[in-house]
């Protein structure tokens, strides 16, 4: 019995690794070729998306320079060969880059939104982006492009409205909530780079799927215990993207000279929370019958509940679809089966 269990786990692991490698190689054929070594810079590299992006870049033979704070309190980490770490004020290390990917920011769902933590969320996005734009603009040969993270939270709560990159994000349209305000100011700070040095693309992320980090990791235990279900009414749309697509799209944006402005980093299949919960339950072979009432979520999470769990943003990846980006995981069931190790 034990041997059979071990064999099944090993088979699943090798199938998982084979899928990633095959997808990475297929993706490499779509990137522009160059007569010289491609080089990118990354800030905010220690997070979920940053790590996967750097790993993918190195698989594809792209050199990476990651910026670090001069007195970082994080323990040293192991990075793939070919990744240079340099303090953010060591400008010479950032000369002659093809693009810069900026992923900085305190985790939105890491802590309850006290006034001080909300200020930290703003500072680590808006202030850090303004400082980055200033530093990069001081270089003799600044990066040709800046790819800055953002979020679909910029739209606020928009119900069933279909939202593409041309949809309004003005305050009158989004409502005056914290996340949309932060995202608008964050994108405005990044766009200053286009006035100084080069192309800017704004990567508006939905929920990034990963089993050990982010929203999915927090949902797993209730569902595994058979106590999962929709949140609130369940009618709110939850745009999502697989972690491998998130990393691929960032490199896709960084290395293609014609992609700029807002880009929705979300899968083509955008489900409401009730359907999202049903698919997750199906993949885990568990029921999806116990809803989490909106009032209970607000008591537990405060303001965060409305912005992250109960708001609806029915976003579509119009720019990616029009440009021909080949999604690795266009459907939620396929994405969940992959990240949770239960591919058919």
DSSP states of 249-318? HHHHHHH-TT--EEEEES-S--EEHHHHHHHHHHHHT------B-HHHHHHHHTHHIIIIII---EE--H
pTM, to two decimals: 0.90
Q: Which two tokens stand for residue 172?
A: 């009158």
Q: Which of 26-35, 250-259, 272-281 has the highest mean pLDDT?
A: 272-281
Indicate whether 5 pLDDT > 50: no
- For 92, other C-beta atoms within 10 Å of its C-beta total 8
Angle between helices 48-59 and 243-255 (to 10 degrees): 60
pLDDT bracket for residue 182 (50, 70, 90): very high
Task: Check residue 72 and give its pLDDT.
Answer: 56
User: What is the arithmetic mean of pLDDT over 236-251?
Assistant: 97
Indicate whether 133 pLDDT > 50: yes
Task: Check residue 232 and give its pLDDT.
Answer: 94
User: Any idea what DSSP says for residue 231?
Assistant: B
Report the percentage of the chain scoring pLDDT > 90: 62
Task: Check residue 107 and give its pLDDT.
Answer: 86
Task: Check residue 36 and give its pLDDT.
Answer: 59
DSSP class per residue in 318-333: HHHHHHT---S--SHH
- Picking from 88, 93, 169, 74, the residue whose alpha carbon sits closest to that of residue 128 is 88
Task: Check residue 22 and give its pLDDT.
Answer: 74
pLDDT digits (tens, 9 = 90+) for 296-329: 989 888 888 898 899 999 999 999 999 999 999 9
**Cβ(254)–Cβ(40) under 8 Å?**
yes
**Cβ(231)–Cβ(311) under 8 Å?**
no
Measured over the CA atoms of residue 246, residue 249, residue 254 and residue 255, the dihedral's sign is positive
User: What is the arithmetic mean of pLDDT over 153-174?
Assistant: 88
pLDDT digits (tens, 9 = 90+) for 64-115: 999 987 665 555 568 888 899 999 888 889 999 999 999 988 888 888 899 9
Indicate whether 173 pLDDT > 70: no
First to last CA, the chain: 22
Distances (CA, A) of 76 to 1, 47, 72, 85, 254: 41, 14, 9, 10, 27
Angle between helices 128-137 and 178-196 (to 10 degrees): 10
The CATH class for the domain spanning 20-339 reads alpha beta
Top pLDDT among 33 and 147 is at: 147
Task: Check residue 8 and give its pLDDT.
Answer: 52
Indicate whether 209 pLDDT > 80: yes
Residue linked to tokens 């955008």: 270
User: What is the arithmetic mean of pLDDT over 146-150?
Assistant: 97
Give phi and psi for 157, each to the nearest 5. -95, 105
Lowest mean pLDDT, pick from 5-14, 172-181, 220-229: 5-14
Domain residue limits, the chain: 20-339
């Amino acid at each position: 019995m034990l041997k059979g269990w071990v064999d099944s786990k090993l088979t699943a692991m090798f199938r998982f690794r084979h899928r990633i490698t095959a997808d990475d190689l297929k993706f490499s054929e779509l990137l522009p070729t160059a007569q010289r070594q491609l080089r990118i810079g990354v800030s905010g590299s220690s997070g979920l998306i940053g790590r996967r992006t750097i790993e993918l870049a190195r698989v594809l033979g792209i050199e990476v320079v990651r910026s670090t704070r001069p007195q970082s309190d994080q323990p040293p980490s192991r990075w793939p060969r070919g990744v240079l770490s340099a303090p953010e004020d060591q400008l010479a290390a950032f000369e002659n880059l093809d693009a810069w990917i900026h992923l900085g920011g305190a985790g939105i769902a890491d802590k309850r939104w006290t006034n001080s933590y909300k200020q930290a969320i703003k500072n680590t996005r808006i202030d850090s982006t303004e400082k980055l734009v200033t530093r990069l603009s001081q270089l003799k040969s600044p990066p040709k492009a800046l790819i800055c993270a953002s979020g679909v939270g910029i739209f606020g709560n928009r119900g069933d409205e279909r939202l593409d990159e041309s949809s309004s994000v003005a305050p009158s349209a989004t409502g005056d909530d914290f996340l949309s305000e932060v995202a608008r100011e964050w994108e405005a700070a990044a766009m200053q780079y286009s006035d100084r040095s080069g192309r800017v693309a704004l990567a508006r992320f939905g929920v990034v799927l990963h089993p050990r980090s982010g929203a999915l990791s927090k949902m797993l235990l209730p569902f595994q215990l058979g106590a999962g279900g929709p949140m609130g009414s369940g009618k709110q749309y939850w745009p999502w993207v697989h972690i491998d697509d998130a990393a691929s799209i960032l490199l896709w944006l960084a290395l293609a000279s014609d992609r700029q402005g807002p880009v929705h980093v979300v899968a083509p299949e955008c489900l409401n929370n009730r359907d999202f919960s049903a698919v997750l339950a199906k993949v885990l072979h568990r029921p999806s019958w116990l809803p989490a009432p909106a009032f209970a979520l607000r008591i537990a999470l405060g303001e965060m509940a409305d912005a992250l769990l109960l708001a609806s943003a029915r976003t579509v990846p119009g720019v990616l679809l029009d440009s021909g980006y080949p999604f690795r995981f266009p459907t939620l069931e396929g994405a969940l089966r992959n990240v949770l190790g239960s591919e058919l």
